Structure 1
Amino acid sequence: MPKPSAQVTAADISRMAGVTRATVSNWRRRHEDFPAPAGGTDASPLYDLQAVRAWLRARGHVAAATPAEELRTVLRLHSGDSAATRALPLVLAAARRDKDALTALTELPDADLATRAGGAVAELSGTVPGADAVRYQPGDADLLRALLRCVRDDGGQSALDVLAERELDDSAASGAYQTPEPLSDLMARLLAPATDPYPSRVFDPACGSATTLVAAARLGATHLYGQDVLSVQAQRSAVRLALAAPDADVAVRDGDSLRADAFPGLTVDGVLCAPPYGVRDWGHDELAYDPRWAYGLPPRAESELAWVQHVLHHLEPGALAVLLLPPAPAARPSGRRVRAELLRGGALRAVIALPPGAAAPLHIGLHLWVLQRPEPDGGGGRGSVLFVDTAEEPAGNRRGTGSVDWDRLTGTALTHWRAFAEDPSGFVSVPGTAHAVPVIDLIDDVTDLTPARHVRAAGPAASPADIARQTRELYGRLTESVKSLAASGGHGDWRPAGDQLRSWRTATVSDLTRGAALTLHQTVPAGGRGKRVAELPKEYAGRPVLTGQDVATGTPASGELDTPMSAYAVAEPGDVILPRVLSSYRGVAARVADERDAGHVLGPTLFLLRPDPDRLDPWFLAGFLSAEENISSASTLGTSVRLTPGHLRVPLLPLEEQRRYGEAFRRLHDLRAAARRAAELAAEAVDLTALGLTSGALLPPEAP
């Protein structure tokens, strides 16, 4: 019997055809032969994928789909046969060939293509775990061609992200979650507290999708080791590392790191790890006499403390490790003895609390443990442990579930950790945020390592008079901000466009770039595409850096360059700036650079589009580029949502009409900025007033 076809939504069809959802709705109404719903509901119908593809093909619309979208669509037709897993090694094999060779492969007959693809993958048997067992059949030809075209046109990472959507889901049952890229970057940067060369050899014994190792490679690691209990994760990590760090020595193995360590004699310069947690069957009984338990046998319910000691076992003396852990191991009674021994032995250097939403599960505030293997002649423990609490973000910086001000969080964590690492005894505590606690004060009947317990003991440092003055000033600024918000919301009479939605011809950003209507720029980290450089050029030293958070909040450039780049993008007035990695498919706030941004360097997570002012209005461009449907059709979902700017579409309108739209988008931008300022001031005023009342610095107003 023929295999049943997958089903798609109207939004899926719009991405497949490269049109808006409104266009799909018009097709449904105007064309009697448009496929009838095959499932779903009246409000959210589902359509047979094969029927939709045939209908689009008959009208020439399939060619409008991006290569990534075409690969995504073909994978749906192969659901249930592990197609994405079998295709993983082919991504690397294809990425090592030039575009002409890939084009030639796609033109082969089905049987020849399957044979050639299988031979290419077999060459990777020593690089990608399980590659020698992969086989392709002539029936896989449509999948193979779609993957080769995606690698050829969009790159290997884009194809890898699409495959990940099908095969690698987060699993709350196993405690295995993807580590977001900003968090992986923070973990990697914590390995180098000073200006010393970055650790050369870095290991992740629960490497997952390899985001931590990729982050380490960007910073200078040249020998990368990984292991994961899931074979598909190990395969994906091997492919991703080979794509991201082609000059590095990479070794990735599959298997259970605790029960079957694939690198038993390996010691490295740094370890990054986000191990699975909540696992009771981790090998407690069979590993009872394992030499790794230098700080005590981890209790049966404390698999996290087994990972802590496994990581320490793989470190060179004096080397650091950073682990992402849930909050329970910091305080659970069953782990008190192991925690106490870690403190006595000087193995625990810092615990950093993250806000809920930093990583899945999003409702829990996770912890980063910074560990260090003691030197053989170190003389025992260290004097103190650093606790940092980043969990309390200003309310105005929260932008939905899982949204975190990563620039602020990273700056807070790195600043305090580096200051502590340089001079532990001279560290100056910041009430409510960071505090260095003597080890002797930590070891008690509880040995609680929860940062909030240690950093929130101090009250406000200011006097009651200062608190009262600051409160009055804040409420005054809030009043002015509310007036500005009301004025911003009073502009414009938004008229209907007619009886039906307005439609227009569009062009992609790639088309506009080829036609010289705009140019696309990006800052590229050293080790990515382009040449490698050893030091920061003098012309860029000290320049402010625009970050993703600056663009999202409309604030001035807040970053700085601390590592050399292969290429630098510098903002000019009229440039349109977009993020490269998104928190969701929802529309984003594009930034139109002004005089204040002139000369600032773009961070590597941003794209810069420079329009020809005689052909494109920048505010018009920013408004349409950041529309939700546009972003959705030009993005791929892997461990995060990645924007492909060349696929974004722009209406082709006369310049005068563009300027009318541009003025409207500018007004909306001003309204959003005014609302954000008012919300931030309101939250700050409420927090300061509450602190003043509860600390005894302020008195309630007298009754009228």
Structure 2
Amino acid sequence: MASQSDHLTAAEISRLAGVTRATVSNWRRRHPDFPQPSGGTEASPSYDRRQVEAWLDARGRLPARSARDDFRAHLRRRTPADVEAVALFSAHLAGLDEKDRARIAALPDDELLESQADVFSPLAHPANPSHADVPAPLLRAAADVLLGEGPLAVFDVLEEHTDAPIGVRGTHPTPSALADLLADLATTGGLPAQSALDPACGSGRLLAATATRLKRHARVHGQEYRAVTAAQAKARVAERSPKASVDVRTGDSLREDAFPDLYVDAVVCNPPYGDRDWGHDELAFNPRWAYGVPPRSEPELAWVQHALAHLNDGGQAVLLLPPATASRSSGRRIRSELLRQGAMRAVIALPPGLAVPHHIGLHLWILQRPEANRPGRDTVLLMDATEEAAADHSRAPDETKLHDTILSVWKAFTAPTGFTEIPGTARSVAAIDLLDELVDLTPARHVRTAPVITPDAALRHATGLTERLKAEVAALTEASDIGPLSTAGETARTWRTATIADLSRGGALAVHRGMRASSTDGIPAELAERSVLRARDLIAGAPASGTAHELQLADPFTIEAGDVLLTQIVGPQGVAGRVAGKEDAGCLLDNSVFLLRPDPGRLDPWFLAGFVSAPDNVSQATTGTSTHQLVASRLRVPLLALGEQTAYGRAFRKIHELRTSARSAAKYADETADLIAATLSGGALLPQGVELP
């Protein structure tokens, strides 16, 4: 009888062949020679792996077997303890250099298990007191993936076999842009940070971002209640900051604090929200509640005090919190104490769309543990950044602009020279002025004012915007002329296709992706000042905005005009992409972007860009559960003559120009409408038919 790992479900067949589940169902119905089920159930049959691979191979649909495929085969039907063992093993290897990784991976089975005895000790329990049951071939398969693609690639596969879904108890991953912002705020304007803690670190994105901003040989600590995710966090931090000392532990931070005696310079946290079962009753007399016992309905204020309890004097904490935390009546007493004792430094309101839940604008709280010889600060920064968004409100905010604006305001507030109010955006408010009957810290309540603008300047500005809007509308009208299209007949056209992997092997194109450095080693001087094209730039349709120093690129790759650029992460609207133009040429490639460089004698770049970004094509080339990632090698391209490609390419280019013009026109329409509405309501301008008395 074949082992369980020798069977494949329909979903695994689709992943193996790089097609959709619907395609596998069609094969079963249309091809009598498709292998018959050999296991599973009637509702979820399984198929013999060897028969399926032979059938796919005979039709040229069997891709070369990868280390990930072997790892998936070894993981099938493994126990949760085995999955945790792989996670711990991978996190351990992530903290080693390449030489030690290769040495451990090459050990015989017995020596491999023996060498990892201490690593597996957290899994020991009465029913499984040793590491002897962990299969050595499973560890070796994980090591092969790690050596070839890095530690995080192992966890991409482990996510497919982990039963703890994202979203449990209100937990969600922190987007990279927000992680960078929180990390910069936590390490700016306070103590020179050499140690950090994230008590709800999840997969470690926020903790890793913070670690890269600490001094060399920093101490980094994290806690996460899911064992596999905690191991992923440790691997991520070790990969991003190999010189740091990393300690990530498993458990519930509020109920079972893994670091009761730890004090650090910076705490960052994106805590679970709306969790009423956070341990209110059993923690009622906990010494961490120096500012008041958090009500059952205020778990966020428990996390705030947990963060403050782990800070050194003068250390800073930055938390991402729901906006209601700033105003709920049940938290008024604790907010009052935070103000009275000088622990509250800033509340910053963010625009919606940055993180889950996307329809709500979250708040950033910046806190500081008051120094023993200094009772606290007299003022609190209140900033409303909700307007720092794209003009087209259906799109995500401009994250780069938002990051730069908030960080510059925070630096100005913490500078010794004093803070100048930014009307309508940011104010420095005396703590005593916030201690009213509501103690409402919602920034909009305190900073929203009418724009300060003279009537003559308002008229000039409104006139200029109106003229620019008319020009943009004219450009949009011109861009909407895509050209005459014709029908393909009664049925849609079909064609033979080839994968990007096939085209790459045949020399028709090359596939590249930027790489992040694992250290702070410098990059070549001639590239140091170049901009870096990131995924957020493609999504916003903006020019490259990253810097080589900020992103610590390894082996920088330079973009050329005619390259096809695609985001690696697949969002709700699919992938964003474009053909590189003159403004992109010479920029460097970030690791969040795929670059396809076609041979112009064989592939038209706009033809290629149009088909590889098509929704159906992207769907069948997407992997992942919580985060959907594009596997560029699986994208399929029609095999057409160059003349036909050029015709399709012209159409796809016009579509791109239409989208760009629509985005620009929408931006100026919103800007013009907002200005005129504000100046009319503020009395600076008068509508037609109204005269001054």
**Whole-angstrom CA distance in 2 between matches of 1:79 and 1:490:** 57
Distance 2:549 2:312 in 1: 26
**1:360 matched to 2:348:** no
Q: Is the 8 A contact 1:37 1:47 kept in 2?
A: no
**Contact 1:407 1:547 (C-alpha < 8 Å) held by counterparts:** no
* Contact 2:568 2:575 survives alignment (8 Å): no
Cα shift at 1:21: 7.6
Q: What's the CA shift for 1:674?
A: 1.5
Deviation at 1:353, TM superposition (A): 1.5
Classify the secondary structure of the residue corresponding to 2:337: helix
Cα distance, 1:333–1:503 mapped onto 2, change above 3 Å = same
2:188 to 174, 193, 214: 193
Q: Is the 8 A contact 2:89 2:119 kept in 1?
A: no
Query: 2:680 — aligned with what?
Result: 693
Aligned to 1:308: 304
Distance 1:467 1:47, change over 3 A: farther
1:587-627 C-alpha deviation (Å, 9 max, x unpaired): 32322222223333344533434334344332233223323
Amino acid paired to 2:580: A
Letter in 2 for 1:63: L
Which residue is 2:336 aligned to? Answer: 340
TM-score, structure 2 as length reference:
0.84
State which of 399, 407, 415 in structure 1 corresponds to 2:408: 415
Q: Give the letter for the 2:399 counterpart.
A: W
1:320-399 maps to which residues of 2 (within 5 A)? Answer: 320-378=316-374, 380-394=375-389, 396-399=391-394
Aligned residues: 673
Q: Provide closer, same or farther for how the CA distance between residues 37 and 521 of structure 1 changes in structure 2, counting only shifts above 3 A.
A: closer
Task: After superposition, give the CA deviation of every residue in 1:241-275 in whole Å (9 maximum; x if it has no partner).
Answer: 34444443221222232333221221112111122
Q: Answer yes or no: is 1:637 the counterpart of 2:624.
A: yes
Cα contact 2:195–2:214 (8 A) shared by 1: no
The answer on 1:460 being equivalent to 2:455 is no
Tell me how far apart the structure 2 counterparts of residues 361 and 619 of structure 1 sit (CA, whole Å): 36
Is the 1:388–1:433 Cα contact (8 Å) retained in structure 2? yes
How far off its partner does 1:225 sit? 0.8
Q: Structure 1 residues 81, 429: closer, same or farther in 2, change over 3 A?
A: same
- What SS class does the counterpart of residue 62 from structure 2 fall into? helix
Residues 174-573 of structure 1 mapped to structure 2, 5 A cutoff: 174-193=169-188, 199-220=193-214, 222-378=218-374, 380-394=375-389, 396-399=391-394, 403-423=396-416, 426-456=418-448, 458-497=449-488, 499=491, 501-509=493-501, 512-513=503-504, 517-527=508-518, 532-533=520-521, 538-563=525-550, 564-573=552-561
Letter of the aligned partner of 2:654 in structure 1? R
Tell me by how many angstroms 1:60 deviates: 2.5
- 1:675 shift after superposition: 1.7
112, 120, 129: which is aligned to 1:125?
120
Is 1:167 the equivalent of 2:155?
Answer: no
Give the SS at the match of 1:447: coil
| C-alpha distance in structure 2 between counterparts of 1:229 and 1:23, whole Å | 39
Alignment of 1:599 with 2:586, yes or no, is: yes
> 1 CA distance for matches of 2:4 and 2:610?
43
Segment of structure 1 superposing worse, 328-337 or 684-693:
684-693
Paired residues of 1:587 and 1:629 also in contact (CA < 8 A): no
> What's the offset of the Cα at 1:160?
0.4
Residues 433-474 of structure 1 deviation map (CA, whole Å, 9 limit, x = unaligned): 222222222122211111221221x11122234334433333
CA distance in 2, matches of 1:465, 1:75: 73
- Decide whether the 8 Å contact of 1:270 with 1:321 is kept in 2: yes
Residue 354 of structure 2 aligns to which amino acid in structure 1? Answer: A
Residue 169 of structure 2 contacts residue 272 of structure 2 at CA under 8 Å; is this kept in 1? yes
Give the fraction of aligned pairs with identical amino acids, expressed as a percent: 44
CA shift for structure 1 position 669: 0.9
- Whether the aligned pair in 2 keeps the contact of 1:15 and 1:65 (CA below 8 Å) is no
- Tell me how far apart the structure 1 counterparts of residues 553 and 104 of structure 2 sit (CA, whole Å): 30
Tell me how far apart the structure 2 counterparts of residues 488 and 413 of structure 1 sit (CA, whole Å): 36
Relative to structure 1, the CA distance from residue 65 to residue 452 in structure 2 (aligned partners, 3 Å threshold; closer, same or farther) is farther
CA contact (8 A) 1:546 1:603 kept: yes
Distance 1:168 1:688 in 2: 51
Label 1:500 to 1:547 Cα distance change in 2 as closer, same or farther (>3 A).
Answer: closer
Report Cα offsets for 1:285-332 as digits up to 9, x if no partner: 544444333333333433322222221221222222111112222112
Residues 92 and 281 of structure 1: CA distance in aligned 2, closer, same or farther (over 3 Å): closer
Instruction: Find the aligned partners of 1:522 and 1:537 in 2 and give their Cα distance.
Output: 18
Aligned to 2:63: 64
Superposed displacement of residue 512, structure 1: 4.8
Unaligned runs of 5+ in 2: none
Q: Which residue does 1:43 correspond to in 2?
A: none
Instruction: Give the SS at the match of 1:362.
Output: coil
Map 1:146-161; keep pairs closer than 5 Å: 150-151=145-146, 153-161=148-156
Partners in 1 of 2:247 and 2:156 — Cα distance? Answer: 21
Q: Distance in 2 between the 1:309 and 1:639 partners? A: 30
Q: Quick one: distance in 1 between partners of 2:56 and 2:104?
A: 24
| Offset, 1:665 | 1.9
In the aligned structure 2, how far is the partner of 1:444 from the partner of 1:129? 54
Name which of structure 1's ranges 689-698 and 60-69 shifts more when overlaid on structure 2. Answer: 60-69
In structure 1, what is the Cα distance between the partners aligned to 2:105 and 2:378? 63
C-alpha deviation, 1:191, in angstroms: 1.9
1:580 corresponds to: 568
Corresponding residue SS for 1:319: strand
* Partner of residue 41, structure 1: none
User: Deviation per CA, 1:512-535, whole angstroms, max 9, x where unpaired?
Assistant: 55555444454444426xxx41x5
Letter in 2 for 1:189: D
The whole-number CA distance in structure 2 between the counterparts of 1:604 and 1:513 is: 19
Letter in 1 for 2:412: A
The verdict on how the C-alpha distance between 1:132 and 1:491 changes in structure 2, with shifts beyond 3 A counting, is farther
Distance 1:587 1:262, change over 3 A: closer
The verdict on how the C-alpha distance between 1:68 and 1:579 changes in structure 2, with shifts beyond 3 A counting, is farther
- 1:454 corresponds to which letter in structure 2? H
Separation in 1 of the partners of 2:36 and 2:492? 23
Residue aligning to 2:88: 89
Task: State how far apart, in whole Å, the 1-side matches of 2:500 and 2:640 are.
Answer: 14
SS at 1:234 equivalent: helix
In 2, Cα distance between equivalents of 1:385 and 1:700: 40
Give me the whole-angstrom Cα distance separating, in 2, the residues matched to 1:268 and 1:128: 28
Which deviates more from structure 2 when the two are superposed, residues 318-327 or residues 63-72?
Answer: 63-72
Instruction: State the Cα deviation string for residues 32-73 of structure 1 (Å, max 9, x = none).
Output: 4558999xxxxxxx9745149676434125732875984797
Q: Which amino acid aligns with 1:177?
A: H
Aligned-partner SS, 1:387: strand
Say whether the 8 Å CA contact 1:6–1:77 is kept in structure 2: no
Name the CA distance, whole Å, in 2 between partners of 1:580 and 1:332: 40
Task: After TM superposition, give the deviation of residue 673 of structure 1 in Å.
Answer: 1.0
Residue 409 of structure 1, CA deviation? 2.3
CA RMSD in angstroms comes to 4.1
Matched to 1:487, the amino acid is: E
Secondary structure, counterpart of 2:429 in structure 1 = strand
SS of residue in 1 equivalent to 2:583: helix
CA change 1:35–1:513 in 2 (3 A) is: closer
